[in-house]
Each structure stands twice: as C-alpha cells, then as structure tokens.
Amino acid sequence: MPLDLPLPLPAAPPPLVRPAAVVIGGLGGTGSSIGRRVLARRPGGLLLFGELRDGGGALRRALRASNLRPVVMVDQEGGAVRRVRALGPPSARELRQFPVWRLQREHRVAARGLRRLGVHVNLAPVADVDRGGATGFRALGATPGTAGRRVAAAVRGLASGGVEGCVKHYPGLGSVGTNTDWGVAVDRRSRTTVLRDLQAFRPAILAGVRCVMVSSVVVPALCSKPAVLCPSTYRRLRRLGFDGAIITDSLDADALRPYGSPGAVAVKALAAGADGVLVASPWSTLQVIDDVTRATRSGRLDRARLAASAQRLRALR
C-alpha cells in the first residue's frame, strides 16, 4: 500500500521590490523637465543641490504631486561644502579648534535647520584622517583618535537635531592627492597603515550612525578595484558591527569612468554589497534606474537582498 507522502510546499514568491528604491539620484531642479522625469521613475532617494533655495517649498509640492516619499539627502559638511548657504556648521578647519561639546552643538543647530527644510540625511561628517591629501582640509582630525572623537560628536549632534549623518569617505581619502570626482585616486600605503586609519570610522558606528558612504578610491593593499566595487569593503564594514545603510559616493565621478557607465557601475556596486547607489546627474539617474531594473529582472541582482537594502534606506527617513 503506497504511503501518503506530504506534497512539497510551493516555493516562496520573490520579495516585492522596486529596483529604483535603491537609487539615490540628482533632480536637476524641481521645475525642470528632467526633474519631472526623475520623479516619475520614483527613486528611493534624492540628492539635492540648489532645490532648497526657496526654503524647500517647490520640492515639497513636487513630491506631494508625485505621491513620493524619498529619502532626501544633502551635502552640508560646512565651510565650502554647503548646499544651504544660510546654515552651518563651520568648516572642518574651524571645527578642529572647538571643544567636542561645541562641535556637537554646531551640528545640532545645522540639523534643525535642515530638518525644517525637509532633509533626512546630511552626507557628513567626513571621517577621513587628514594625511595631507587633496580632501584633507575637510577632515576633522589628523589622527584616527582625534578624527574619530569629533566625527562621533558630529553624528550625535546631527541625530539630536533630527537628521541622520552619513560618515564618509570609507575607506578614506585623507592621503590621496586626487579628488575622485575629478580623477582616479590610489592610496598606495601599506595594509597596516590603511587599517589603522579606518579606526576613525568606529566611534561613529558606536555612536549609532545609520549611514556610511563608500568612496571610489583604489587601495591596492585591500582590493585591486575601487572600494565601491569590492565585496570586501562591505564585509569589513559589517564586521565592525555596522548594520545600517551603506551607500556609494557619486557613481558619475571621473574615478569610475574606466569601469563603465554609471548604470553598469551601479549594478556592480549593488552586487558587491552596496545598499544604495548615488548619482549626482539627473540624466545618469535615469540610466542607473534602467540598468538596475534590467539587472533585477534578469536575476543578476538578488531580489531578496535588494529588498533588504531598500528597507535600510527607507529607515533613514
């Protein structure tokens, strides 16, 4: 007499995820035709430049009309890197002279102003260690210890003002002579030296930061490719205990041109472990959404992992 064997359970359906939900894109102006096209594609995040000059009113109206709730991000490091000129904090050079409590207060005040404008994430502070490189003037310290303490204070200040910080530019740009926006940057220091400077990121993680930005620097001692394309970059951050969103620096940077179009690079970065791919150009944003969508439908990008990444980004709101 044949045994009644249980029927196999049906396979679980793939998780629902919009590939555009892991794209953080430039808008190109709220009233522009390209801006309307970007909003129509429903990216998970927006990187703002001049869209807050009117106090954010036009942006809020455009988002309501699109029924869209993206994570709104802005570069407001302080000093020369400020998208909202009326707000602080002061430059890194000035902040280095402040006691930690005042540095934290300066970031809290800036965060309150940003929050009133509808910003969720400030792409700051810079956790690089100043070793005399091209972007060293934006760093908060010249040793891992001093940089780390100030970065953690900045993170706490931003959070207490209602805005998430996003520490950058992991694994660090403090020693390279080229800004990755304008060319290929290679950190040729020893593995021991590089890993020592990475300790500047740890206090921010312990302080509860929920976003880390990975740069396009090439560190041969760690990986032969730009950091955003190396799985080991993301694994190393997770081993530090970070469980928040890991986003890329802008993928339309000159440093990444040898590796393909922004869309092709975005797919590689997501496959390597990024949660969000950031592009400054609105035209590149459309291309990235198209390429990530195709890679998801073809199975090249795992839907379950993409869904988890999208959730990490949404948690920044």
pLDDT in tens, 283-307: 999 999 999 999 999 999 999 999 9
pLDDT at 31: 86
Helix (H, G, I), strand (E, B) or coil at 275: coil
**Does domain 21-314 sit in CATH 3.20.20.300?**
yes
Q: What does 87-101 look like in DSSP terms, one character per residue?
A: -----HHHHTTS-HH
Are 285 and 26 in contact by the 8 Å Cβ rule? The answer is yes
Low pLDDT (below 70) residues in the chain: 1-15
Picking from 105, 77, 82, 107, the residue whose alpha carbon sits closest to that of residue 92 is 77
pTM comes to: 0.94
Predicted pLDDT at 1: 47
| Per-residue pLDDT reduced to its tens digit, 73-108 | 999 999 989 999 999 999 999 999 999 999 999 999
What's the pLDDT score for residue 25? 98
Residue 221 is given by DSSP the state: T
3-state secondary structure of 26: strand
CA distance linking residue 85 with residue 82, whole number of Å: 6
Domain ranges of the chain: 21-314
